[in-house]
Every structure is written in C-alpha cells, then in structure tokens.
Structure 1
C-alpha cells in the first residue's frame, strides 16, 4: 500500500492543547503543549496519539539582499486523529507563535 500526502497549509479554526495546570492534561498524549483536539473546515478532530513532535527554534535568516529576518519558533506535531468517523488519519499541525495551521494530511 502506498501512502499519499497532501499539503494544505490552511489555518485551523481552533486547537485545544494540554496544559500543566491539569486542564486537558489527562487527554494530552505528550504533556503540556501537545494538541488534544482541533477544528478544521468546520469539523472537530480528536487527537488519538502523537506520532512525532519537533521544533524549529527561532533564529536569524538573511534575505537575498543580506537584510536579517527573524523567524518565530515553530512547533510541528504529527498526530493520528479522528473526526467521529470510523477511519483515522495522520495530520501534521504547525504552531508558529499563537497561530496554528494544518500543513499535511496522509491518506
């Protein structure tokens, strides 16, 4: 079976994350900061498990003209999630600052 990925790069309507103070922490598969659910295109998804998490730290990059550009820290989460249907999917969620987006979906 061949896996197919589709890139969306669309903003998410809402993301719920686990917190250190106990809210949502029982459902949080990776500790504080991991997404536990999200809304995309009007549909709610529950995160069943986190398959991977990595971070691109903020840093300075340069434009072709040499001018510096500061990039915000970015967290990427690959999760298995379900939206109420019997099937599950793999989704890559990206958080940059306070903004979340859906980057990829695997079929």
Structure 2
C-alpha cells in the first residue's frame, strides 16, 4: 500500500559527479535525513505542452522520477518516490 504526499523535500544530496538524470544519494524530508540504499527505478517525462479547456497552451518542464529504497537510521526501510521538476524536488509517494 502507498500514501501520496507531494511534499517539498528540504534538501537533496547528489553524488559529486551528479548531473541531470543522476539519482540522489540522500534526501531530507520532514526534518529527517534518509540515505538512499538502492535505486529501484528511474523514468523521465519529457517536456511538453498541454492545452487548458479554454485552449491556452501550458508548458510542462522535464520531470525525472526515482523510486528508491531508503532508510533514516532506524531499523525500518521504506520505498520512496522522488520527483524533480526543474530545480524543485518533492517526495511524491511512500510505500509501506
């Protein structure tokens, strides 16, 4: 079962060789630091455009999504879905 949060991540650590498309190595959410143990999946939604019902175009930035296994120093591990759009990161979903 999963729960959707769609909350901003306070801090994201990328590997020193990190470029666009590189998975985070750690992140901070709700004041807790999580170490990424394993990347379970990565996919990209290319930039595009849509139209509102009134016909006005809407630009959508490229979005990268990662599903990762992470732990925050407690015995339990979890699966987290992290989303990056532009320079903004958010935690989208958590599986228990």
Question: What SS is found at the alignment partner of 1:35?
Answer: coil
2:8 equivalent to 1:11:
yes
1:69 is matched with which residue: 55, 58, 64?
58
Aligned-residue RMSD, C-alpha: 1.2
TM-aligned CA deviation for residue 54 of structure 1: 0.2
2:42 equivalent to 1:45:
no
TM-score normalized by structure 1? Answer: 0.84
Q: Which runs of 4+ in 1 moved over 4 A?
A: none
Structure 1 runs not aligned, ≥5 long? 26-31
Aligned residues between the structures: 94
In structure 1, C-alpha distance between the alignment counterparts of 2:23 and 2:85, rounded to whole Å: 14
Structure 2 runs not aligned, ≥5 long? none
